[in-house]
Chain A
Amino acid sequence: MEKLLKIAAAKGLKAEVYSIREKSLSMNKVNGAVSEVSASIQSGVSLRILKDGKLGFAYTKNLIDREELIANALSSLDAGVEALYDFPDAGSISISDDYDDAVEDMSFPEIRKNVEQVEELYGQMNEGVFEAAAGCGTSELRILNTSGSDLRQKESTVYSMGQMIYPGTSSGIRNIFMGVSDAEPCVSDVNRTVDFFHSSLPEVEIGDSRMKVLFTPDSMYALTWRLGVASSAKYFYEKVSPLLNKVDSLVVSPLISLVSDPTEGKTGRRSFDDEGIKTHRVPIFENGVFKTVYNNLDYASKMKTAPLGTGFRGGMWGGEKVAMSPAPSLSHATFSLGSKSFEEMLAMMDRGVILFGALGAHSGNILNGDLSIGLNPGLYVENGKVVGRVKDAMMAGNIYEMLSKAIAVENAPYYTDSMYENPSILLDDISVVGS
């Protein structure tokens, strides 16, 4: 990497080299039988160069021919992509590695033990399908630039998952457990899932009406996706965000706070973003008030503001990190905890649905905040008790209107597919359309 930087500097270029190496192992079991075993060792290098206010970008998985990578970046530079920023000198950033060496050496037999531990907790299922999975992953990231930054961060993750799938469907409810060194399952969480599963086995037709909807962490991305798009500097710069001119305005219920803080959490903390900017707490919505337009180096320079450490590679559809340019990202954002336990929130539901999965959250006018999703599954609640699961139903609305009707936020967070935990949020008076 140093050689690559030297070659670029010798050509009179400002340069940044981003490199990543990731290793993972995973195993899945379905109804007690191992169904999938896989491993991956991936690496890659991405190069950004700046010259005369223009950006060149190139990447490779195998850094065999440095000159070819530079040539690709120079060809990209010639296209004329504007870049009004410089790469940062990170200075002294204190690095917090969430990393355990032992995870790098985990083997398939160890992963299998973790899967079996999950299976044991859920016990025997008489109806439906039970899926158990476990795995581990490590990553080593390095960002080096001609402004003097040389940042490295390592992380490790161990996870396990149990999912109970309703008979004749692919729809289920689940628990995910995660940690830096191990993924100790929480027995009370598992027991609640098992109880919910059994009480929600009957299918219920609910017709069209308005009712309470409890968004669980597994369906929360349908909300954060829309809030994230609207509060991104990209859409402010392009003047198409529905939140234009609404900074410091109350836009949703005061119960709602959404904060990007990569330095917090039990796993996957980051001391710098993917451009080498120091990360810190960035309130996006605080007590219902829209507070911050988050950015990356590019949009910070365009909008003449400071970069906030929210420039990350990746997106809602995944993809190779080295192949993607850093963009404004809320990948580390979570909703702040509220004051109610899950049981208290359930007791507040005279009639409603607990949303454990959102089908089609990527459809609709995301920028405008519109949401129209299948309840998959939606557990039907009457008088604070789960009495079944709704059949063929959708909920719809605009998230700003919906989140203005938040009446409770849970006081505990849970893991989902991402490495960050979220609480559940209870919304009132939501349109549900059933068969």
Chain B
Amino acid sequence: MLEKLKRMITAAAADYVDIRYEVKKTTTISMAGHELKKAGSNATDGFVVRALKDGGFSSVTVTREDDVPEAVKLAVQGASAMAGGGKTVTLAEVEVFEDNVEPDLKGDPALVPLEEKIALLKKYNDIMLDQPEIANTNMAYSEVDREKFFVSSEGSAIRERVCTVSIGGEVVARRGDLTQNIRAAVGGANGMAALKDREDVFLKRAQIARELLDADPVKGGTYDVVINPSLTGVFIHEAFGHFSEADIIEDNPPLRAKMEMDKQIGSDVVTIIADTLIPNQVGFYKYDDEGVPVKTIPLMVNGVLKGRLHSRRTAAEFNEPVTGHCVAQDHGFEPIVRMGTIYLKKGEMPLEDLMKQMGDGLYLCDGKGGQTSGENFTFGAQYGYIVKDGKIQEMVRDINIMGNLFTTMKNIEAMDNDMQLSERGGCGKGQMNIKSGYGGPSVLIRSMVVGGV
């Protein structure tokens, strides 16, 4: 395939061309309550062509091999249409690689029969449905196995397979007119081992959903909060992580000024690392979709900005090193700057000391999605507790938090010594990235705006 791709771009009249071909095999099994809703395996494929010409840069995605010549032509035309339009694109210089990468799987999902996967999903689903007041579940087994071939006119020729599996969804508790839901998920990028013997996770999630029926909505206001590792992950991803993606701030001079290297952005206890190379983590890959090997990047060290995530284009624009973070959802998309695994470094104290340090406030648990817009962010917590004098009290629900990145990073006061990473990703920055892993310890933040209901 790599040789075929080389031939496809040989004649392109451009300064630089690359082509990515990808076969994406998916297995999806979904259940609603006790009912099996979907089960099956499928394969799709497609091509992404990018061309750089006279400072213009363009990309084209096509499905059929017959359309590749048209795609190459359109990409060059698009680059020409951009050229001279004000912005001149250059690509940072990179080393040329030829490589063939297979993931280190503990139980290759491709070798496991569909019936076995259905049985595993049903087992976890039944555990939740058997709990009192659980009205419904919406659960799915998801397996995405991508075989990517990348060739550039500079000479890179790389094949890499990345495989991600998860079992997850929501469990719904109901009492009268009140429904409450909680998310449950296990998974990773190291094969079926991540999914086995996880009964305790699903039992616990169903119990929390039921407990939420007795919880009151949180009252809106400004609180000191401790967020648990799951929520820390969402916070670091949404509030800071997106801001460290170069393309987010690239065309916004005031934001670029605020994110200047070596600037003190956070309090001096905050260190944030982008480490996509942590083995077995959901974010793991070796080469990005520009053929650049991914590097571990300290983004913030003791509150000082030290790194940024880049594509070749943004690395050149910022005159900073390439990082290997230009990734596409699949063969239907051009690659853009994305996080792999990102985490906040843990501290030294146990959780109970962190609570004591907070005194009165809220203990917020488990992310329920988030969103960022420039320096503003919001994210939901699946549940939480009122904390009085360092002691955890009654449960509260319907919690959403909003904040400003710069204010909040400086309001981080301490963290505990227990770091956890997410097992499933999912970031919708223009296209879905299921390989966005995140995590950290529990973190004490002063003065957060909590929306309530």
Min Cβ gap A365→B in Å is 6
Q: Which residues of A contact B368 (CB under 8 A)?
A: 363-364
Which of B36, B40, B80, B179 has the most chain A CB atoms inside 10 A of its CB?
B40
- With A325-B38, A392-B376 already in contact, the answer to whether A435 and B29 are too (CB < 8 A) is no
Residues of B within 8 A of A176 (CB): none
A75-B114, A79-B40, A373-B451 known; A364-B332 Cβ under 8 A: no
Residues of B near A320 (CB, < 8 A) are: 44, 332
Min distance, Cβ B255 to any Cβ of chain A, angstroms? 6
> In the bound complex, do residue B40 and residue A57 qualify as a contact, i.e. CB atoms below 8 Å apart?
yes
Complex Cα–Cα for A397 and B217 (A): 10
Quote the shortest CB–CB distance from B417 to chain A (angstroms): 29
Q: Are B371 and A359 in contact (CB under 8 A)?
A: yes
Best-buried of A25, A37, A238, A318 by chain B (most CB within 10 Å): A37
Q: Which residues of A contact B432 (CB under 8 A)?
A: 317-319
- Complex interface: chain A residues within 8 A of B180 (CB): 365, 368
What's the Cα separation between A40 and B426 when bound, in Å? 23
Contact indicator per residue, chain B 40-84, by CB within 8 Å of chain A (1) or not (0): 111111100000000011111111110100110011011111100
Beta-carbon nearest neighbor of A368 in chain B = B179
Instruction: A304 to B292: give the CA distance in the assembly, Å.
Output: 55
Say yes or no: is B244 at the interface (Cβ < 8 Å to chain A).
no
Q: Does A187 contact B (CB under 8 A)?
A: no
Q: A61-B46, A392-B376, A433-B450 are in contact. Are A362 and B371 (CB under 8 A)?
A: yes
CB contacts (< 8 Å) of A121 on chain B: these are none
User: Is there contact, CB below 8 Å, between A169 and B374?
Assistant: yes
Residue pair B181, A365 in contact (C-beta under 8 Å): yes
User: Of A26-34, A260-268, A285-293, A421-429, which stretch is located at the interface?
Assistant: A26-34
Chain A residues, Cβ within 8 Å of B376: 169, 171, 359, 374, 376, 392
CB of A310 closer than 8 Å to a CB of B: no
B298 CB-CB contact with A under 8 Å: no
Contact A396 B61, beta carbon cutoff 8 Å: no
A34 touches B453 (CB 8 A): no
CB of B39 within 8 A of chain A? yes
Q: Shortest Cβ distance from B308 into chain A, in angstroms? A: 16
Residues B162-177 near A (CB distance < 8 A): 172, 174, 177
- Within B341-362, the residues touching A (CB, 8 Å) are none
**Number of A-B residue pairs having CB atoms within 8 Å of each other in the complex:** 277
Digit string of A50-94 for contact with B (CB within 8 Å is 1, else 0)?
Answer: 000000111111100000000011011011111000000000000
Question: Does B334 belong to the interface (CB within 8 Å)?
Answer: yes
Write the chain A residue with the least CB distance to B334.
Answer: A38
Asked if A406 CB lies within 8 Å of chain B CBs, one says no
A367 to B87, alpha carbons, bound, how many Å? Answer: 45
Q: Are B380 and A360 in contact (CB under 8 A)?
A: yes
Taking CB atoms, residues of chain B closer than 8 Å to A394 are 220, 378, 400, 402, 449, 451
CB proximity of B395 to chain A, nearest CB, Å: 14
Contact string, B78-111, partner A, CB cutoff 8 A, digits 1/0? 1111100111000000000000000000000000
**Among the listed stretches A104-112, A331-339, A346-354, which one makes contact with chain B, having 4 or more residues with CB under 8 Å of it?**
A104-112
The answer to whether A33 and B85 touch across the interface, beta carbons within 8 angstroms, is yes
Interface centre among A72, A79, A361 (most CB of B within 10 A): A79
Pairwise interchain contact B255-A58, C-beta atoms closer than 8 A: no
Report which residue of B71, B180, B402 has the largest number of chain A beta carbons within 10 angstroms of its beta carbon.
B402
Q: Which residue of B44, B70, B372, B400 is within 8 Å of A323 (Cβ)?
A: B44
Check: B222 CB closer than 8 A to any chain A CB. Answer: yes
Asked if residues A57 and B38 are in contact (CB atoms below 8 Å), the reply is yes
A223 interfacial by beta-carbon distance below 8 Å: no
- A202 near B: Cβ within 8 Å? no
Q: Which of A167, A360, A393 has the most CB of B within 10 A?
A: A360
CB of A129 within 8 Å of the partner chain:
yes
A139 contacts B by Cβ under 8 Å: no
* Docked complex Cα distance between A62 and B32 (Å): 30
* Given A30-B251, A169-B373, A208-B221, CB of A238 within 8 Å of CB of B135: yes
Contact between A360 and B369, CB atoms less than 8 A apart: yes
Which residues of chain B are near A33, meaning CB under 8 Å?
Answer: 85-87
What is the bound-complex CA distance between A208 and B402, given in angstroms? 14
Which residues of the partner chain A approach B43 to less than 8 Å between Cβ atoms? 60
The reply to whether the CB of B370 lies closer than 8 angstroms to some CB of chain A is: yes
Q: What residue in chain B is nearest A327 (Cβ atoms)?
A: B37
A133 to chain B, nearest CB (A): 13
In the bound complex, how far is the Cα of B57 from the Cα of A59, in angstroms? 32
| Contacts A165-B252, A170-B252, A362-B371; A431 near B36 (Cβ below 8 A) | no
The answer to whether A435 and B85 touch across the interface, beta carbons within 8 angstroms, is: no
Task: Write the chain B residue with the least CB distance to A54.
Answer: B36
B258 close to chain A: CB less than 8 A: yes
Q: Mark A378-406, 1 if CB is under 8 A from B, else 0.
A: 00000000000000111111100000000
CA distance A29 to B56 in the complex (A): 13
Cβ–Cβ < 8 Å partners of B78 in chain A = 25, 37-39, 108
State A371–B217 Cα separation when bound (angstroms).
12
CB-contacts of B220-249 with A (<8 A): 220-222, 248
Question: What per-residue 1/0 map shows which CB atoms of A309-327 lie under 8 Å from chain B?
Answer: 0000000011110010100
Flag B205-222 by CB within 8 Å of A: 1 or 0 each.
000000000000100111
Q: A-facing mask of B176-208, CB < 8 A → 1, else 0?
A: 011111000000000000000000000000000
With A76-B39, A242-B177, A435-B449 already in contact, the answer to whether A40 and B378 are too (CB < 8 A) is no
B118 at the interface (CB under 8 A from A): yes
Q: Which residues of chain B in 248-268 are interfacial with respect to chain A, using CB atoms and an 8 Å cutoff?
A: 248, 251-252, 254-255, 258
User: Which residues of chain A are near B334, meaning CB under 8 Å?
Assistant: 38
Instruction: With A362-B369, A394-B220 as known contacts, state yes or no: A42 contacts B136, CB within 8 Å.
Output: no
Q: How far does the alpha carbon of A44 sit from the alpha carbon of B42 in the complex, in Å?
A: 12
Which B residues are in CB contact (< 8 Å) with A359?
Answer: 371-373, 376-378, 402
The answer to whether B220 touches A433 (Cβ under 8 A) is yes
Contact B254 A167 (CB under 8 A): yes
Contact A60 B374 (CB under 8 A): no
Q: Which residue of B lies closest to A397 (CB)?
A: B453
Instruction: Decide: A41 and B87 in contact? CB cutoff 8 A.
Output: no
Which B residues fall within an 8 A CB radius of A? 26, 29, 32-33, 35-46, 56-65, 67, 70-71, 74-75, 77-82, 85-87, 114-115, 118, 135-136, 172, 174, 177-181, 217, 220-222, 248, 251-252, 254-255, 258, 331-332, 334, 368-380, 397-400, 402-404, 407, 428, 432, 449-453
Can you show 6 pairs from A to B with CB atoms below 8 A apart?
A: A41-B71, A75-B40, A165-B252, A364-B380, A393-B402, A433-B221
Extra contacts besides A40-B61, A59-B42 (14): CB < 8 Å: A34-B82, A37-B59, A38-B58, A39-B60, A41-B71, A43-B63, A58-B42, A59-B44, A112-B85, A165-B252, A170-B248, A170-B375, A367-B172, A396-B451
